[in-house]
Amino acid sequence: MSRPMQVSRYWRHFREKYRLIGGKCENGHVHFPKRPICPVCGSREIEEVELSGKGKVLSWTLVRNPPSGFEYYKPYPLALIELEEGPIVLAQLTDVDPEEIDFGMEVEVVTKKIREFEEDGIILYGYKFRPPVK
């Protein structure tokens, strides 16, 4: 696969990917990732908001034929998670037996390695979700 200059490309999203920074418009609509215009009401008055990272599994799958670059992890669970603030986020699930994943399962965010680039040596980190550590 092609290898563009990745460092700046990924670094510019580190706040969203490490701390789940989303957007909240003047009318209280919360979205993730942050956008310049609120997708609900069209407001351009958006402030940053750090999401709690707690949510529930809305749907999930087990990726068995991954895109190149993710072969090492296969099969891996990928889910849509509805955060307690409202937005839905797509992420991998981690530290969980795929058999135990269920609709409405509670999860929390955790920072994990997403991927390594073989030749460039870049290691990408970002959010994944796991059952809450008690």
Partner 1 sequence: MRKAVIIGAGMTPVGEHWKLALRDLAVEAVLNAMDDAGIDKVDSLYVGNMISGPFVEQENLGSLIADWAGLGNIPAVKIEAACASGGAAVQEGVKAVLSGLEDVVAVVGVEKMTDAWPNDATRYLAYAADAEWELFHGASFVALNALVMRYYMKTYGYTEEDLALFAVNAHTNGAKNPYAMFKRPIKLETVLKSPYIADPLKLFDASPVCDGAAAVIITTPEKAKELGVPKEKWVEVAGMGRAIDTINLANREDLLTLKAAKVAAERAYKMAGVEPKDIDFFEIHDAFTIMAALSLEALGVAKKGEGAKLAREGQIAIDADYPIQTMGGLKARGHPVGATGVYQTVEAVLQLRGEAPNQVPDAEVGLTQNIGGTGSNITVTVLRRV
Nearest approach in angstroms of CB 32 to Zn ion is 13
**Residue 43 binding partner per list Zn ion, partner 1, none, with a CB distance cut-off of 5 to 8 Å that depends on partner kind:** Zn ion
Number of residues engaging Zn ion in binding (CB under 5 A) = 7
Give which of 113, 60, 65 is closest to 88, Cα–Cα: 60
Task: Please say which residue, 80 or 131, places its beta carbon nearer to partner 1.
Answer: 80
Tokens encoding 77: 């669970």
- Per CB under 8 A, does 60 bind partner 1? yes
- Per CB under 5 A, does 35 bind Zn ion? no
Secondary structure of residue 36 in the 3-state scheme: coil
- Per CB under 5 A, does 123 bind Zn ion? no
Query: How far is residue 29's CA from residue 57's CA, in Å, rounded to a whole number?
Result: 21
Beta strands in 10-133 (DSSP E): 21-25, 30-31, 46-50, 54-63, 76-83, 88-92, 106-116, 123-130
**Residue 107 binding partner per list Zn ion, partner 1, none, with a CB distance cut-off of 5 to 8 Å that depends on partner kind:** none
Q: How far is CA 112 from CA 19, 38, 51, 64, 126, in A?
A: 12, 29, 17, 20, 6
Binds partner 1 (CB under 8 A): choice among 7, 36, 65, 134: 65
- Per CB under 5 A, does 27 bind Zn ion? yes
Footprint on this chain of Zn ion (rule: CB under 5 A): 25, 27, 29, 38, 40-41, 43
